[in-house]
Amino acid sequence: MKPYIPNPLPLENIEWAKLIDLMGKANRYIARYDGLLQSVINPDVLLAPLRTQEAVHSSKIEGTQASLRDVLQFEGEQKVADNKKSDIYEVINYRIALKEGREQMQSMPLTLNLIRKMHATLMRDVRGSSADPGNFRRIQNFIGPPGSTIDTARFVPPTVPDMTEALGNWEKYMHHEELDVNVQLAIVHAQFEIIHPFLDGNGRMGRILIPLFLYHKKIIHEPVFYLSDYLENHRSEYYDALKNITDSGSWTNWIRFFLQAIIVQAERNINKTRAIINLYEDVKKEIIESTRSQYAVHCLDTIFIQPIFSSNYFSKHSGIPKSSATRLLDILVKESVLEIAEAGSGRRPTIYAFKRLLTIVND
């Protein structure tokens, strides 16, 4: 199979008439979601579990087995099986890379240099860490099942010279004013996967770019629009729609698939975010009334950021003195705000779970 030569951007053959029905709906749903985001007073707290869930879903597309619970248990200082730790580190790196991208974009635009920096973070000390993290490839790669050769591969990305030219064109296109931003996002994501500029981590990096591109275009006020849940649940369609571009040269099926993903996932994101906001307000009242403590909000924010945690974690990260922390945890269990997931024994700490939040995130 010969290396693919990507279409230069912007595309000249977009069939806009076949996209109009989904374009309008996708724009309305994104606007509704962003309106809801703007009402979130402390997104770093309330949306933390959704960030972790996105990282879990995106990593699962690439074959990891770690669940949201696995990651939360690990970060909440509960023991997890050794064979899950490498997958958990991949999930955590994904989340850190996305956060670093957002922070960097406060002072710089979305560029190839920033993408290389995020890729270095994404691949640090995990599977693929030997595949030149943070650098665009200098050799030919190909995609296929284990045992494939370049002749039997499912897809062969561009040669290094063609890749370099296509990346420059792709970066310029990100700053181009397209007729519709969501259609542009569909093209940006697909073209990145087609170029396949890294030796490993292209899929995860391409999905990190989805919320960052919308943030770059000022379509959303926080880069927290995540598609990996939908893409994981429609994995075969996702890969087939991408492959249809390189097999037939037609982008219409891919763009329609992507717009539909935006519509479905935006509605889910709206429902989950609204449910989390309502839960935060309800539990805030419960904690204030039941504890009468000056540390009520510290307690509230800690359990939203980390809904599975050990007593040691709570004392260390909440900023609450240990004597007060123990009393507060006892009250929250008594009032059914928290549940004991695993009773402490000897030197082993008690593990707590905020199941009402976990139910929303996992729904």
Positions marked catalytic:
196
Residue numbering of the annotated binding site for ATP:
62, 196, 200-207, 238-239
- Please state whether the peptide bond connecting residue 158 to the residue before it is cis, i.e. omega within 30 degrees of 0: no
Residue numbering of the annotated binding site:
62, 196, 200-207, 238-239
Reading the block at residue 30, the tokens are 């994104």
Quick check: helix, strand or coil at residue 155? Answer: strand
Q: Write the CA distances from 315 to 118, 155, 306, 353, integer angstroms.
A: 32, 51, 13, 15
Work out whether strand 339-342 and strand 308-310 pair parallel, antiparallel, or are unpaired.
unpaired
The DSSP code for 226 is -
Residues 16 and 313: their CA atoms lie apart, in Å, by: 53
Walk across the sheet containing 339-342 and list its strands: 308-310, 351-353, 339-342
In the block, which residue shows the tokens 């579990």?
A: 49
Residues 50 and 56: their CA atoms lie apart, in Å, by: 10
Q: Name the residue among 117, 199, 186 with its Cα closest to residue 157.
A: 199
Residues 103 and 87: their CA atoms lie apart, in Å, by: 25
Residues 314 and 194: their CA atoms lie apart, in Å, by: 45
